[in-house]
C-alpha cells in the first residue's frame, strides 16, 4: 500500500517539525494523526519519528542535541550527519510567519490525515471483501473516521473537583430518564442517564415487550425522542399497542374508534405543550427477525440523522436475542457481545438504550427471577446499568398482577420488589398504588 505524502510547501513541512519539537500541545495533537512517511523528504520523516519516539519514551520534548544523537541511530550509511545538522538549523531559522498560526498547521495536518486514513481504509475494505471478512469492514472504516486533532485525556480527579461537582449539580437540575416505576426512579435518584443500557428480563409472554412499549410512552411524555426497534412485531402492530397506551382506549375498540384515537393524541400533544414539556417524537422501525446486525442499526441511525434530522434520546430494542452479531460465535458469547455492542451504541450516540431478554426454562418455575435464570448468557448483564425481571404466577396473571425484581442497579439500590398492575385491555403496566 503506497502512502501519500503532504502536498505542502517545504517550509510548512519544516514548520510542522519545528512546532513538534518545541510545542508540547502541538505534538500531542499531531502525533495520532501524522505518520513519518507523510513527509516528502526522508530527513523530515526521520526527524519527526525521532521527536515523537523521544516524547513517548520520556514524556518531554527533546533538545536539539538529543534529536541529533537519536538521528545517528536511524540514519542510513549513505546519509551524511552534517546534512541533518544543516536541516535542523534550517528548521530553527524559519521565518516567524511560517509557524505563527499553529491551529492552521494542525488543520492542514488533520485534513490530510483524514483523507489518507479513509483511502487506506477503503483499500483494506476491498481486500476484506475479497476474503469475505465482511464483519471487519465496519471496524476498519470506523477507525479511519476517528482521526481527529481533538485530544481527550480523561478526568483529572484532584484538579477537577469543583468543575466535576458543578456538573453534578447541573445534572440534578436536568430531567433524567425516568422508568415507569416511581419506586425504581427513587432508587435511581431520579432515573437513568444517557450512555447507559437497561434490560428487562422475563419468560416468553410475561410482559417484556409490554414494558418496553410503556417505557416508550413514558419517555415521550418526558419530552424525549424515542426510536423503537421491533425485531418481532410489525410496525403497525407496535403502533396499535402504543395507541392504547397513549389514549387509554381498549385494543379491541381501536378499529371502531380511529377518530377518537386521533383526537386524544392531538389533545395529548396540546396538553404537553401548554404544560411546558413538548411531547417527544416517536419513530418505529421493524427489522426482520435474526437479520438485524449492529452495523445495520448504526447505518439506520445515520439515515435518520441525515434524512429526518432525528437523533433519538432513547433507543428501544425489542429484543436482544432477535439481533444477530457480525461475528460467528456460540449463543452465550453472541448474547454477551450484543449487550456490549448495545452499550457501545448508547455511548456513541449519547442516548439511553433499553432492551429485553428471555429467561431459561427455570424462569417459569421460580417465584423470583434472578440472574441465575438468564437464558444462555449471564455475561450479557455485566455491561448493563439496570436489570430487572418481571415475575408472574398464573393467579397473578388472572388478577392482572405481577412483580418487578431489581436484579442489578449500577447506580442505585437493587434486590427489591416492585408490585405491578397490568391492564391487558389497555396494555398498560404500572406500579401498584398499594406499593
Residue with cell 402492530: 237
In whole angstroms, give the CA distance from residue 231 to residue 252. 24
Backbone angles phi, psi at 14, to 5 degrees: -65, -35
What is residue 172's predicted lDDT score, i.e. its pLDDT? 55
Let me know if 433 is exposed, middle or buried by CB neighbors in 10 A (0-12, 13-18, 19+). exposed
pLDDT of residue 167 exceeding 90: no
Residue 289's pLDDT is: 85
Confidence of residue 141 (pLDDT cuts 50, 70, 90): confident
Q: Provide the pLDDT confidence category of residue 95 given band limits of 50, 70 and 90.
A: confident
* Residues 410-433: tens digit of each pLDDT: 888 899 999 999 999 999 999 998
pLDDT over 50 (residue 48) = yes
Q: Among the listed ranges 25-29, 165-169, 291-295, 385-389, which one has the minimum average pLDDT value?
A: 165-169
At which residue does the C-alpha cell 391487558 appear?
424
Q: How far apart are the C-alpha atoms of 246 and 338, rounded to whole Å?
A: 31
Digit-coded pLDDT (tens) for 208-265: 999 999 999 999 999 999 999 999 899 999 999 999 999 999 999 999 999 999 999 8
Vertex 138 angle, CA 137 and 141, to 5°: 85
Query: Which is more confident, 153 or 47?
Result: 47
CA–CA separation, 416 and 167 (whole Å) = 30
Mean pLDDT over 58-83 rounds to: 92
pLDDT of res. 110: 81
The yes-or-no verdict on residue 341 having pLDDT over 80 is: yes
User: Residue 326 pLDDT more than 70?
Assistant: no
Q: State the CB neighbour count (10 A cutoff) for residue 63.
A: 11
pLDDT of residue 1: 53
Q: How confident is the model at residue 320 (pLDDT cuts 50, 70, 90)?
A: confident
| CA–CA dist 231, 274 (Å, integer) | 35
The neighbouring-strand residues paired with 352 are 314
From 180-189, 309-318, 331-340, 394-403, the region with the lowest mean pLDDT: 331-340
Stretch 50-67: mean pLDDT: 92
Give the span between the Cα atoms of 7 and 5, in whole angstroms: 6
Q: What per-residue confidence (pLDDT) applies to 175?
A: 53
Indicate the pTM of the whole model.
0.68
**Residue written as grid cell 551524511:** 80
Answer yes or no: is pLDDT of 24 > 70: yes
Q: How confident is the model at residue 435 (pLDDT cuts 50, 70, 90)?
A: very low
Packing angle, helices 81-92 and 10-22, rounded to 10: 90
H helix or E strand, kind and range, residue 389: strand 386-391
- Report residue 288 as a C-alpha cell: 426482520
- Contact between 57 and 47 under an 8 Å Cβ cutoff? The reply is no
Find out whether 177 and 184 touch, Cβ atoms under 8 Å. Answer: no
Between 355 and 103, the more confident residue is 355
Residue 394: its pLDDT value, please? 92
Q: Residue 169's pLDDT band (boundaries 50, 70, 90)?
A: low
At 153, the pLDDT band (50, 70, 90 cuts) reads low
Query: Cα(369)–Cα(401) distance, rounded to whole angstroms?
Result: 16
User: Is the Cβ–Cβ distance between 335 and 374 less than 8 Å?
Assistant: no
Percentage of residues of the chain with pLDDT beyond 70: 90
Looking at the predicted structure, is the pLDDT value of residue 181 above 90?
Answer: yes
Q: What is the pLDDT of residue 149?
A: 65
Instruction: Name the pLDDT band for 32 (thresholds 50, 70, 90).
Output: confident
pLDDT of residue 7: 67
Measured over the CA atoms of residue 220, residue 222, residue 227 and residue 233, the dihedral's sign is: negative
Q: pLDDT, tens digit, for every residue of 279-318?
A: 999 999 999 888 888 878 887 888 898 888 999 999 999 9
In this predicted structure, what is the pLDDT of residue 39? 86
pLDDT in tens, 1-17: 556 666 677 888 888 89
Query: Residue 60, exposed/middle/buried by CB under 10 A (0-12, 13-18, 19+)?
Result: exposed
| Structural domains of the chain in order of their starting residue, each with its CATH number | 10-145 (1.10.860.10), 172-431 (3.40.50.300)
Confidence of residue 150 (pLDDT cuts 50, 70, 90): low
**What are the pLDDT digits (tens) for 360-377?**
777 778 889 887 777 666
**Is 395's pLDDT higher than 70?**
yes
358, 321, 387, 209 alpha-carbon torsion, rounded to 10°: -70
Residue linked to cell 405543550: 273
Q: With contact defined as beta carbons under 8 Å apart, do 220 and 178 qualify?
A: no
CA 416 from centroid of its chain's CA atoms: 29
Query: Is residue 376 within 8 Å of 406, Cβ to Cβ?
Result: no
Contact criterion met (CB below 8 Å) for 219 and 177: yes
In whole numbers, what is the pLDDT of the chain averaged over residues?
86
Can you tell me the distance from the alpha carbon of 8 to that of 104, in angstroms, rounded to the nearest whole number?
13
**List of residues 6+ apart from 435 with CB closer than 8 A:** 183, 418, 419
CA distance 174 to 197: 19
Instruction: Output the nine-digit C-alpha cell for 421.
Output: 398492575
Rounded to 5 degrees, what angle do the CA atoms 313, 315, 317 make?
175
Amino acid at each position: 500500500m503506497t502512502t501519500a505524502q503532504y502536498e505542502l510547501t517545504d517550509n510548512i513541512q519544516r514548520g510542522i517539525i519545528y512546532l513538534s519539537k518545541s510545542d508540547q500541545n502541538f505534538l500531542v495533537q499531531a502525533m495520532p494523526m501524522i505518520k513519518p512517511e507523510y513527509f516528502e523528504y526522508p530527513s523530515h520523516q526521520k526527524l519527526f519519528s525521532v521527536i515523537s519516539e523521544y516524547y513517548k519514551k520520556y514524556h518531554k520534548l527533546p533538545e536539539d542535541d538529543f534529536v541529533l544523537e537519536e538521528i545517528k541511530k536511524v540514519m542510513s550509511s549513505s546519509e551524511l550527519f552534517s546534512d541533518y545538522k544543516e536541516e535542523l538549523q534550517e528548521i530553527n531559522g524559519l521565518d516567524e510567519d511560517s509557524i505563527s498560526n499553529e491551529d492552521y498547521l494542525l488543520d492542514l495536518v488533520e485534513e490530510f490525515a483524514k483523507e489518507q486514513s479513509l483511502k487506506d481504509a477503503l483499500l483494506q475494505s476491498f481486500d476484506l471483501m475479497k476474503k469475505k471478512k465482511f464483519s471487519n469492514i465496519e471496524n476498519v472504516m470506523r477507525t479511519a473516521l476517528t482521526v481527529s486533532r481533538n485530544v481527550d485525556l480523561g478526568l483529572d480527579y484532584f484538579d477537577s473537583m469543583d468543575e466535576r461537582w458543578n456538573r453534578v449539580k447541573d445534572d440534578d437540575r436536568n430531567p433524567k430518564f425516568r422508568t415507569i416505576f416511581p419506586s425504581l426512579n427513587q432508587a435511581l435518584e431520579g432515573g437513568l442517564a444517557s450512555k447507559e443500557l437497561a434490560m428487562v428480563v422475563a419468560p416468553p409472554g410475561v410482559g417484556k415487550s409490554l414494558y418496553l412499549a410503556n417505557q416508550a410512552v413514558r419517555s415521550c411524555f418526558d419530552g424525549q425522542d424515542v426510536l423503537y426497534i421491533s425485531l418481532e412485531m410489525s410496525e403497525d402492530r407496535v403502533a396499535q399497542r402504543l395507541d392504547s397506551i397513549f389514549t387509554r382506549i381498549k385494543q379491541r375498540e381501536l378499529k371502531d374508534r380511529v377518530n377518537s384515537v386521533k383526537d386524544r393524541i392531538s389533545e395529548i400533544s396540546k396538553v404537553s405543550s401548554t404544560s411546558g414539556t413538548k411531547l417527544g417524537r416517536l419513530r418505529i422501525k421493524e427489522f426482520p427477525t435474526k437479520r438485524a446486525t449492529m452495523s445495520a442499526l448504526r447505518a439506520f441511525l445515520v439515515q435518520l440523522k441525515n434524512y429526518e434530522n432525528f437523533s433519538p434520546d432513547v433507543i428501544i430494542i425489542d429484543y436482544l436475542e432477535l439481533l444477530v452479531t457480525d461475528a460467528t460465535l456460540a449463543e452465550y458469547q453472541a448474547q454477551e457481545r450484543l449487550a456490549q455492542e448495545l452499550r457501545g451504541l448508547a455511548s456513541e450516540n449519547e442516548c439511553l438504550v433499553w432492551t429485553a431478554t428471555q429467561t431459561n426454562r427455570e424462569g417459569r418455575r421460580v417465584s423470583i427471577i434472578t440472574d441465575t435464570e438468564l437464558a444462555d448468557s449471564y455475561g450479557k448483564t455485566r455491561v448493563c446499568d439496570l436489570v430487572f425481571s418481571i415475575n408472574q404466577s398464573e393467579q397473578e396473571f388472572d388478577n392482572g398482577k405481577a412483580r418487578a425484581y431489581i436484579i442489578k442497579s449500577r447506580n442505585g439500590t437493587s434486590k427489591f420488589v416492585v408490585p405491578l398492575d397490568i391492564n391487558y385491555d389497555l396494555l398498560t403496566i404500572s406500579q401498584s398504588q398499594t406499593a
